[in-house]
Amino acid sequence: MDVRKAQRLRDMLILIGLCMVLGSYVFEPLMIPGAVVAFSCLIPHFLWNKCPHCGRQLGRNEAEFCQFCGGKIDD
């Protein structure tokens, strides 16, 4: 999986999870599954959010170039 897809997946998982947690005010059993979905955003973040050149974690960097080596993120 490339970096941009991992970032979009991470963003979608946290958005869906937060919507489920907020929906738990209406339907209480959504709280735990919503928290699980929201925290599952950490999986693509730590597995695939790395520079393809130097392999270091990009963190919250969504720019075109790596902040460590200067390599282009999308090849």
Q: Supply the pLDDT for residue 35.
A: 95
Q: What does the pLDDT read at residue 2? A: 86
pLDDT tens-digit map of 20-57 = 999 999 999 999 999 999 999 999 999 999 998 999 99
**pLDDT for residue 69:** 92
Does the structure show a pLDDT above 90 at 74? no
Checking if the pLDDT of 75 tops 70, the result is no
What is the Cα–Cα distance from 39 to 17, expressed in whole angstroms?
8
**What confidence category does residue 61 fall into, taking pLDDT thresholds of 50, 70 and 90?**
confident
